Structure 1
Amino acid sequence: MDLMEMFLISLGAAVVVYYGVKLLLFSRMFFPKLWFPMSNSFFTSMGEWAVVTGASEGIGRAYAFMLAEHGMNVVIMSRTKENLDQVAKEIGDTTGQRVKVIVTDFIQENVFSEIEDQLKDLNIGVLVNNVGILPSFIPCKFLESAELDQTITKVINCNVKTMAKMCKIILPGMENRGRGVIVNISSGIASIPFPLYTLYAASKVFVERFSQGLQAEYKDKGVIIQAVAPFGVSTRMAAFQKTNMVMLSPEIFVKYSMQYLKAGDKTNGSVCHIVLGWLLQTIPLKVLYAESVLRMMQDYVKKKTAQKKWNK
């Protein structure tokens, strides 16, 4: 056997081992309870309070309920007091846990000093950075966005700045106590550069990279930091589409996603969304970026929006 033949055999064996390990690691995602178990007291062991931004509806509301059901008191934050008060009452009546309401508009510039004052005396074990906005409900090219200057500011303030500022406020306490959980909500479309959602997808890439960097910095301090990147969840942002195998309800998605909390610094949150993420990255970008495909995407969203309005 000559040297070249030995090299090729060794290279082939290395490739087989590499992809075998990757396949084994991927297969764990189908059995999260087995591979990433959590005790019943996991969340309460992190601290007394959980903070959830964008908690008046959708994914944020579902996280607030779930954490309260696990024995935590919750701080819920959003800009609509009436909705927050209703959620607070429902959580209190259902779980018996304390609920603190903070009304704030994360689109605005100078809101964080007041938030920090209201949170400073709380033992916060969990932070869920969920609040976010979509620049345009109907997907469109960047320059076609209405009021583009204001839209850029709103998206950066809400989707990017808020997450970093909330971590700045809450992470020091977690570091000092040597425990805590931060969940930052990204989006499945951040998996690739995504035309027609360019600004939104880019803001969610920041969420993922920021989360992964923070986890590398603070993992040894006992703090879990994870980006959660869902695809279809039936919320206002998705026009409250009918739930199915892919389009999950907020409650079901949150229940699934929390099973992956120990699975690494990023997860798509459910088996079907993990598979979708893998499939999306296997499709050639030239196909996704074809003008006909982009038009089909726009028409699909317009149709779904029109159906929802008609049904109402």
Structure 2
Amino acid sequence: MSCCGFFGCFCVFTVLVQLFCGVFRFIYQQIIGPALYGSSVDFKKYGGWALVTGATDGIGKEYARSLAKRGLNIILVSRTLSKLETVAKEIEEQFNVQTMVIDVNFTSGLEIYDKIKEKIKGKEIGILINNVGMGTVAPDYFLAVPDRDQMIPDMVKCNALSIPMMCSIILPQMFERKRGLIINISSLSAIVPAGCLTVYAATKSFAHKFSEDLAMEYKKHGILVQSVVPGPVATNMTRLKKGTWMAPKADVFVESALKTVGIAPYTTGYYPHAILQLAAQWSKFLVPTYMSNMTLKTMENVRNRAIKKGIYTPFSQ
């Protein structure tokens, strides 16, 4: 066999091995692992308290409820005190755990982190859920987004800056105890084409990248860091009212995502979303222009429906 022939065979063999490993890893992390081991994770081993940001609605509220159901005391951090107190009361009465509420607006300045740091003194926080986030009323082209000059810094502070700042507060005590769990909620838009969601997708990309590298740094110190990259979930933020197979209700999504802890360093959290991710990434690899155009067209259709319903008005230059 010639050198060229040998090299060609080696390349084909390498690609096939990578494909096999990738498919096996996908099946194990998304289906087999969660099914076999996902329900046996002892979340209380990390510490007595879990802190959840963006905890009064949607995914954040369900993470708080699910962890309370598993016996953890919950610190709820969000913007509106009345909502925080309502959710805290529900959790205490239903799961017989302690709660604490901290009302801060993550689009504000760095002073909010001093408030959080002061409030949590003396609390053994073993789990941190960085869930807080904001989006736009509807997807749109960058220059057509209303109040763009205010939206950009607000979204960066809420979706991106909040994550390393909260880790900076909580990680030291985890490092000292040599155990802890940090879950950062990113988005599928971080890793697939996301035209008309430019700033949102970029901030979620930051969340995903930060999580991957922080996990690398602190795994040897007993600290798990997981990036969760969900697709559509029926929440107030997405304005999806009813859960479906592809867009589940928040409680269904969270229970599924928690079963991947310790199994997948990053996950969509819900296997239909994993299938969606796989299809999008393969399409991007095989037909990148078609994939980008298709996702852009989809976002344009969502935008146009929002305009027609009267819930969104784009900026007109």
Superposed pair shares fold, TM > 0.5? yes
Q: Give the count of matched residue pairs.
A: 304
Greater Cα offset, 57-66 or 232-241: 232-241
Matched position secondary structure for 2:122: coil
Structure 2 partner of 1:295: 300
Structure 1 partner of 2:169: 169
1:278 and 2:282 matched? no
Contact 2:256 2:269 in 1 (8 A): yes
Which residue type is aligned with residue 296 of structure 1?
A: N
Which residue type is aligned with residue 61 of structure 1?
A: K
Give me the whole-angstrom Cα distance separating, in 2, the residues matched to 1:167 and 1:43: 18
Post-superposition offset of 1:53: 0.4
Structure 2 partner of 1:14: 14
> 1 or 2 for the larger relative contact order (CA 8 Å, sep ≥6)?
2
Matched position secondary structure for 1:102: strand
Give me the whole-angstrom Cα distance separating, in 1, the residues matched to 2:79 and 2:242: 26
Post-superposition offset of 1:3: 4.1
Greater Cα offset, 206-215 or 279-288: 279-288
When normalised by structure 2's length, the TM-score is: 0.90
Note the alpha carbon deviations across 1:77-96, whole angstroms, 9 max, x for none: 11111111111111001100
Contact 1:54 1:60 in 2 (8 A): yes
Structure 2 partner of 1:114: 115
Contact 2:193 2:292 in 1 (8 A): no
Post-superposition offset of 1:266: 1.3
Instruction: Determine what percentage of the aligned residue pairs are the same residue.
Output: 32
Matched position secondary structure for 1:245: coil
Question: Structure 1 residues 254 and 241 mapped into 2: Cα distance closer, same or farther (>3 Å)?
Answer: same
Contact 1:287 1:293 in 2 (8 A): no
Question: Structure 1 residues 168 and 30 mapped into 2: Cα distance closer, same or farther (>3 Å)?
Answer: same
Contact 1:214 1:225 in 2 (8 A): yes
Give me the whole-angstrom Cα distance separating, in 1, the residues matched to 2:115 and 2:48: 21
Matched position secondary structure for 1:59: helix
Give me the whole-angstrom Cα distance separating, in 2, the residues matched to 1:206 and 1:261: 21
Q: Supply the RMSD in Å over aligned alpha carbons.
A: 1.9
Question: Structure 1 residues 303 and 64 mapped into 2: Cα distance closer, same or farther (>3 Å)?
Answer: farther
Matches within 5 A, 1:226-245: 226-245=226-245
Greater Cα offset, 168-177 or 286-295: 286-295
Matches within 5 A, 1:187-202: 187-202=187-202
Contact 1:288 1:294 in 2 (8 A): no
Post-superposition offset of 1:120: 2.1
When normalised by structure 1's length, the TM-score is: 0.91
Instruction: List runs of 5+ in structure 2 lacking aligned partners.
Output: 312-317
Matched position secondary structure for 2:154: helix
Post-superposition offset of 1:170: 0.1
Matches within 5 A, 1:76-225: 76-109=76-109, 110-134=111-135, 136-225=136-225
